[in-house]
Amino acid sequence: MAIKAVVFDLDDTLWDLDPVLHRAEQVFYQWLNNHAPALTARFTARELRLYRLGLARRDPELRHFVTRVRMRATHECLLLSGYSESDATALTEQSFAVLWQARNRIEPFPWAVEALEGLKREYQIGALSNGNADVYQTELGEYFDFAFSAEGLSVAKPDARAFQAVLDHLTCQPEEIAFVGDNPEHDIQGAAAMGMKTIWVQVKDWPNPPEEIPFDQRIDSLQLLHQAVRNLG
């Protein structure tokens, strides 16, 4: 069957996540330092991060829901720093708004814009991400017809229910969808298990990938993406 839609993971597929998060964390902590100095007097940036990680470990259901973890951890740390419930709630919401704005300031990988421009002329374009970036708030938003996130769905890849949301939205057959992602388990194995065609993007090296990865196409540059989609049928 011919491909009708191309669905993307976002982080580390269309842009490098590490520098985005690094800048966002700096902006977040500086805002807290200016507006909640009692918190930054008690917690370093590293200690706040460790607190979030500990919270996610204690509550596995939160593991893939980074916004919920961030806001709950920030709220708890503000309370521990002596802020009232109402002040902690307000500061949590304000600080997250600042962080989220910075989180959406991305730098696309080389050829990402060109690839999306070309694909947009032939296919529906969508996103399915476990991250909390809002693709419509990034410079790539104009190319996307729809977007789903783990936060919005309350379920994360590789859970079949995440991919089913895409199928329900598109009302086409799984083999008519090309799923493009960098994560061998969450993206490639998850999409393949639903019958979708898969393109494994290796712009960044993936540490210790599984021995068996059910990709249909593999590329190391987004310059090759349009042809890879065409190769699928």
- pLDDT on residue 123: 98
Distance CA 136, CA 152 (A): 14
Mark whether 130 and 209 lie in a shared domain.
yes
On the question of pLDDT at 138 being above 90, the answer is: yes
Mark whether 85 and 113 lie in a shared domain.
no
Mark whether 180 and 220 lie in a shared domain.
yes
pTM here is: 0.93
Q: What is the span of the domain harbouring residue 153?
A: 5-15+108-231
Q: What digits encode the pLDDT tens for the residues 36-52?
A: 999 999 999 999 999 99
- pLDDT on residue 231: 97
In whole angstroms, how far apart are CA 94 and each of 50, 67, 82?
21, 13, 18
Helices (H), 179-231: 190-193, 225-231
Mean pLDDT is lowest, of 140-154, 176-190, 195-209, for 195-209
- Please tell me the total count of domains within the chain: 2
Mark whether 81 and 171 lie in a shared domain.
no
Q: What digits encode the pLDDT tens for the residues 154-190?
A: 999 999 999 999 999 998 999 999 999 999 999 999 9
% of the chain exceeding 90 in pLDDT: 89
Is the sign of the CA dihedral 179, 172, 138, 224 positive or negative?
positive
Closest CA to 215 of 162, 178, 164: 178
Mark whether 171 and 225 lie in a shared domain.
yes
Mark whether 121 and 226 lie in a shared domain.
yes
- pLDDT on residue 63: 74
Mark whether 24 and 115 lie in a shared domain.
no
CATH of the domain at 70: 1.20.120.1600
